[in-house]
């Protein structure tokens, strides 16, 4: 049985649409994520004996026509289509066209159908099913049913936990599937990349290029109101791979890819101090020599960071979000501005770079708190920074807050992005409009990056390390047109 797993095309003429990141868009920095969850599912299906094709259309800027040419010779029996909120109507239309062309069972996956499974299936009655949340084993169990006969009974389909499916005129949601605990049963995602993808297509503006992305665990114990993956996809329970298994994959990456860095895409690698130090010691013991980056909270102590630095840690991607304590409290960040400042000082002592993420427009935000955030960003002076207006997604507490207070300007998910696929904002409240949030981010980006001190520091950094220079040049060239032009051109309407 042949299974196609596809990251479908979307706005290829505008750039690489990064569907799997927390806020899907064509990014101003050129950052483009691996289709990691599709790749994990591919590994599980191949391990079970299915013949798979993993195709990432945005990675090659493929049009719909070029994508179909790639699929034609494969002739799949089952199709799995990745989706995201801003592109959901395009994604469903593409999936429906595949269904019509190949007459095969067609399934949608991703955060959006996980949050709104019935609503997503109602977009087009050609779509057969949705696999909710982490979907590797839901797809495997469904594929086992379909292996010999695509016309399975309703009782057979009801047996697949995590599945929402169409049967005649009825849409049925099965029981939730328990999220997998034994993550070591799942093949290395990097092995799937090696077989199916070109790793040079993927770029993180804050990381050395080329890069391979993997995870050491799943789930996040924190309850930030805006963060979509813990709320609708991975859950809040931490599930870890063993340190040995993670470091085994690091060795595989070093031996099989010509990369300059590894990115650990866990929601926060550093949440468990004991494990973080154990992880560091195992890397050191094996003598693995590669730099790596990771997501982290701004609450890691200096001792842990020193160990991580010795083990190759180069940079942490950190959600600072706001410089106003009231806003941090209302978004349930569970951290203080003073703790953030200490973390940045300790990171500098340890020699670890920081990519700072600043998210504006959260509950409690005001024009005064926006300025506090910009001031804090300049004071902290991270290696790189991103400024986003709040992006609310179905299934999150932030989305419910915006809807319940009538702050959503737009209910059409297609307008969650600009016409060119850039981040938009559809949340307005009295005294602070969506456009003001977007324009603040444009101004903050410009003021942060055009400081003479910052430019001088980056020039010095680039001249001392050719790989840093390559990263900085690519990111700067991509970002520069947005710094000077801003998000909105003169012809665009208010967001």
pLDDT tens string 415-438: 999 999 998 899 998 899 999 999
Q: Does the pTM exceed 0.85?
A: yes
Query: Which pLDDT score is estimated for 472?
Result: 65
Which residue did the predictor score with more confidence, 383 or 149?
383
pLDDT at 458: 80
Q: How far apart are CA 242 and CA 216, in angstroms?
A: 8
Render pLDDT for 386-417 as a digit per residue (tens, 0 to 9). 999 999 999 999 999 999 999 999 999 999 99
Please name which of 283, 284, 362 lies closest in space to residue 326, comparing C-alpha atoms.
362
Instruction: Spell out the domains of the chain, with CATH numbers in brackets.
Output: 2-173 (3.40.50.2300), 204-485 (3.80.30.20)
Give per-residue pLDDT as tens, 33-77. 999 999 999 999 999 999 999 999 999 999 999 999 999 999 999
pLDDT at position 345, please? 98
Looking at residue 494, its pLDDT comes to 37
* Token pair 């995201």: residue: 84
Tens of pLDDT, residue by residue over 78-112, are 999 999 999 999 999 999 999 999 999 999 999 99
Q: Which tokens hold the place of 152?
A: 């399975």
- Tell me which residue has tokens 């992880």: 279
For the stretch 455-490, pLDDT in tens is: 988 888 777 777 666 666 666 666 666 666 666 554
Closest CA to 118 of 156, 86, 163, 157: 163
Considering only 248-257, 308-317, 445-454, which range has the smallest mean pLDDT? Answer: 445-454
Structure confidence at residue 204 as a pLDDT band (50, 70, 90): very high
The string of pLDDT tens digits covering residues 345-363 is: 999 999 999 999 999 999 9
Q: Which of 360, 358, 361 is nearest to 407 (CA)?
A: 361
């Amino acid at each position: 049985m042949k299974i196609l797993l596809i990251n479908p095309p979307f706005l290829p003429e505008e750039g690489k649409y990064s569907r799997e990141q927390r806020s899907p868009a064509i990014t101003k920095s050129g950052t483009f994520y691996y289709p990691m969850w599709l790749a994990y599912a591919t590994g599980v299906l191949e391990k079970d004996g299915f013949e798979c094709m993993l195709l990432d259309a945005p990675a090659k800027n493929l049009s719909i026509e070029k994508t179909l040419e790639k699929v034609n010779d494969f002739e799949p029996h089952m199709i799995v289509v990745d989706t995201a909120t801003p592109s959901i109507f395009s994604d469903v239309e593409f999936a429906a066209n595949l269904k019509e062309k190949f007459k095969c069972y067609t399934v949608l996956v991703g955060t959006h159908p996980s949050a709104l499974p019935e609503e997503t299936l109602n977009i087009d009655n050609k779509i057969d099913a949705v696999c909710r949340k982490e979907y590797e084993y839901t797809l495997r169990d469904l594929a086992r049913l379909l292996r010999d006969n695509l016309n399975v009974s309703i009782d057979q389909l009801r047996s697949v936990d995590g599945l929402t499916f169409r049967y005649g005129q009825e849409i049925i949601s099965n029981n939730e599937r328990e999220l997998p605990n034994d993550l070591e049963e799942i093949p290395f995602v990097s092995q799937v990349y090696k077989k199916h993808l070109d790793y040079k297509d993927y770029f993180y503006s804050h990381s050395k290029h080329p890069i391979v992305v993997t995870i050491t665990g799943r789930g996040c114990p924190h309850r930030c109101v805006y963060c979509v993956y813990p709320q609708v996809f991975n859950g809040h329970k931490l599930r870890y791979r063993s340190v040995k298994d993670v470091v085994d994959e690091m060795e595989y990456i070093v031996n099989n890819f010509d990369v300059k860095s590894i990115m650990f895409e866990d929601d926060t690698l550093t949440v468990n101090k004991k494990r973080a130090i154990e992880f560091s010691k195992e890397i050191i013991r094996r003598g693995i020599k590669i730099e790596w980056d990771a997501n982290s909270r701004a609450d890691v102590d200096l001792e842990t960071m020193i160990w991580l630095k010795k083990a190759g840690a180069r940079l942490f991607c950190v959600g600072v979000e706001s410089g106003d304590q009231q806003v941090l409290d209302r978004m349930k960040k569970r951290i203080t501005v003073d703790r953030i400042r200490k973390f940045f000082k300790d990171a500098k002592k340890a020699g670890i770079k920081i990519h700072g993420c600043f998210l504006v427009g959260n509950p409690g935000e005001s024009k005064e708190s926006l300025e506090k955030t910009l001031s804090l960003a300049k004071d902290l002076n991270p290696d790189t920074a991103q400024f986003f207006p709040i992006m609310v997604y179905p299934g999150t507490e932030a989305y419910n807050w915006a809807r319940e207070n009538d702050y959503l300007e737009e209910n059409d998910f297609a307008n969650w992005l600009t016409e060119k696929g850039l981040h938009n904002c559809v949340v307005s409240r009295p005294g602070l409009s969506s456009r003001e949030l977007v324009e603040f981010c444009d101004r903050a980006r410009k003021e942060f990056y055009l400081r003479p001190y910052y430019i001088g520091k980056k020039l010095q950094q680039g001249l001392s390390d050719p790989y840093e220079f390559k990263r900085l040049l690519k990111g700067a060239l991509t970002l520069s047109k947005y710094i000077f032009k801003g998000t909105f051109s003169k012809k665009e309407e208010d967001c």
